[in-house]
Every structure is written in structure tokens, then in C-alpha cells.
Amino acid sequence: MDCPEARDHLAELARNRLEPEVAEIVRAHAAGCATCADALQVEVGLHALIREQAPRYSAPPALRARVQAALRTAERPMASGWRAWLLLHPWQASGLAGALAALVAVWVATGWLAADPASRLVSLAVEEHVEYAQEAMHRPPPNPAELLAALRSRAGFALGPLFPGDTEAPLMSTTTAELRGKPAVALVYRNGPGRYTTLLLMPGADVAIPAEDRLAIETFKPHRRVTSGKQVLFWKQNDLACLLVSDLDGPATAAFFLKIRKAA
């Protein structure tokens, strides 16, 4: 056994996790090699020092209580994400769009752009979104100009012109989110009772739109997929990557897409 090989085993040897015969070979090498013997001594000493003396931080009781509550309510697989999110973020429990954007952000960041398993998260996001959106239906639509102004000031990147909603599809809420460590924003429109559409925008410089499954809508060709009956469109405009998730059917989603796309 040479020094690099021996060094490779020092950490496990210091923790008594090597097979006895391998441990014996490493010890035999260290017995005849001052460098490796020193390294083993340092490894043993530092491991013990850190294990015994490094500060250990305990979770605050309030955090424990929140996590406990979130775990307790995680009974229904399709609902667990939203319920847990609201329990873990009680100060934003009224922030429907925040919750939605957080979920959308996660599934985009962790899956959909790279692979398909996130389809499950897409349906989770949309179904739960509808459930909570229905609870928010009694609220009158807020002032879209104020919503958009606030969003622009918080976004951290240029949003360009945005569809402010109209009488058919008022803008209900906006929020900032984070995608792959980059800022993003979400806008939630209400297309009717229990029917919502979420538009997610993020800087698009390094975001690739899938080349396949393009849907021709007038002169535009966004990538389209349907997940759990929900329409999803994905495209770029200006320097932004845009994701639209809608409860509407295909033609209505395409029509709504045009409103959003032409506003930009």
C-alpha cells in the first residue's frame, strides 16, 4: 500500500469503520511512514475534538412545533405540499400566490426543465392552487396597477410590459419567487369561478425551451404540455422565460396566452 492509498483510508480507520484486514494493512503502512502516521494522528485528534467540543445547535421549540404540525397534517398525498407550506409559513397563510409561486418555483427548479417526474408536482400545484383559490374567491380583485407596481419594485429584474388583467380575467395576486437561485415572479389571474391561470416569469438567458411539442398560436409557438388536465405553456419573450399554468381548456388557454403575449 502506498501513501495515497493509505490516506484514502485514514478517515474510516480513525472511526473504526474499516474491514479488519484493510485496517491492518493501513496501520502497517503508517507504522513505517511518518507522514501517514502523523496524518492519522491528526485525523483521530481532530475527529474527536470536533465531535466532542464543536457547538451543537438545537432546533428552537417554535420550529419543532411547526414541523410537527406539518407532519401531522400530511395525510393526503396530493394535499401535503400545500398544507405543509401553509403550516410552515403561517405568516403568509393568506398569501395564496406566494404559496403557489413557491411550489411552481420548486417544480420548475427541480424537475420540469430537466426531466419529467415534476409532472406530478405540476398537477399538485394546480389542483391545490384551485382549492385555495376558491377560498380566495370572495375577495374583490385588487387594484392591478398597484399590484404590478409593487411587483416591479420587488422583482429584481426588468419585467417589461405585463398583462394587467381585464374584466374576464382580473389579476388576483402577484408574488416574487426564486428559481434555481435566480429571481422570478408569479402573477395569478382568475378566469372564472375556480378557474385560475398562473404566469411565471424569470430571466431567460440560460433557460432552454423544449424544441418538441410546439403549439402554433397565431405567429407564436410556445412549448405545450398537458399535465393532469391542466394546460402548461412555456416560451420566451424579450429576455424572459415564461411559464403559464391554466385551469382553462386548450383553446381558452391559447386565447388567454395571446392576451398575455401581446401585452408584452
Partner 1 sequence: MDDSLSQLRAEALTHLDGLYNLARWLVRDPAEAEDLVQETFLRALRGFHQFRAGTNLRAWLFQILRNTFFTQYRKRGREAEAVDPDVLDTMAIRLGPASGAGSPSGASSGTLSVDLRAALEHLPDDYRAVVVLADVEDFTMTEVADIMGCPVGTVKSRLFRARAILQELLRDYVR
Distances (CA, A) of 154 to 82, 178, 203, 253: 24, 12, 14, 28
For residue 43, count CB atoms less than 10 angstroms from its CB and return exposed for 0-12, middle for 13-18, buried for 19 or more. Answer: middle
Strand partners, 220: 217
Q: How far is CA 250 from the centre of its chain?
A: 26
Grid-cell match 399554468, residue found: 245
Rounded to a whole number of angstroms, the minimum distance from the CB of residue 55 to partner 1 is 6
Rounded to a whole number of angstroms, the minimum distance from the CB of residue 51 to partner 1 is 5
In what order do the strands lie in the sheet containing 195-203? 171-179, 182-192, 195-203, 240-246, 230-237, 223-227
* Residue from the set 27, 120, 214, 259 that interacts with partner 1 by CB under 8 A: 120
* Residue from the set 8, 168, 218, 249 that interacts with partner 1 by CB under 8 A: 8
59-118: which residues touch partner 1 (CB under 8 A)?
59-60, 63-64, 66-68, 70-72, 74-75, 77, 80-81, 84-85, 88-89, 103, 106, 109, 117
Return the number of the residue (5 or 135) whose C-beta is nearest partner 1.
Answer: 5
Tell me the angle at which helices 96-107 and 77-88 cross, rounded to the nearest 10 degrees.
120
Return the number of the residue (6 or 248) whose C-beta is nearest partner 1.
Answer: 6
What is the amino acid identity at position 107? W
172-211: which residues touch partner 1 (CB under 8 A)?
178, 180-182
Return the number of the residue (2 or 212) whose C-beta is nearest partner 1.
Answer: 2
Residue span binding partner 1 (CB under 8 A) among the ranges 36-44, 235-243, 247-255, 256-264:
36-44
Residue spans of alpha helices (H) in the chain: 3-14, 20-31, 34-53, 61-73, 77-88, 96-107, 119-135, 144-155, 250-263
Grid-cell match 430571466, residue found: 203
Return the number of the residue (56 or 138) whose C-beta is nearest partner 1.
Answer: 56
**Cell triple for residue 97?**
400566490
* Residue from the set 47, 152, 225, 236 that interacts with partner 1 by CB under 8 A: 47
* Residue from the set 32, 34, 53, 206 that interacts with partner 1 by CB under 8 A: 53
Rounded to a whole number of angstroms, the minimum distance from the CB of residue 222 to partner 1 is 26
Q: Assess 34 for contact with partner 1 (CB under 8 A).
A: no
Distances (CA, A) of 232 to 28, 107, 126, 261: 63, 13, 10, 14
Q: Which residues bind partner 1 (CB under 8 A)?
A: 7-8, 10-12, 15, 17, 39, 41-43, 45-47, 49-51, 53-60, 63-64, 66-68, 70-72, 74-75, 77, 80-81, 84-85, 88-89, 103, 106, 109, 117, 120-121, 124, 178, 180-182
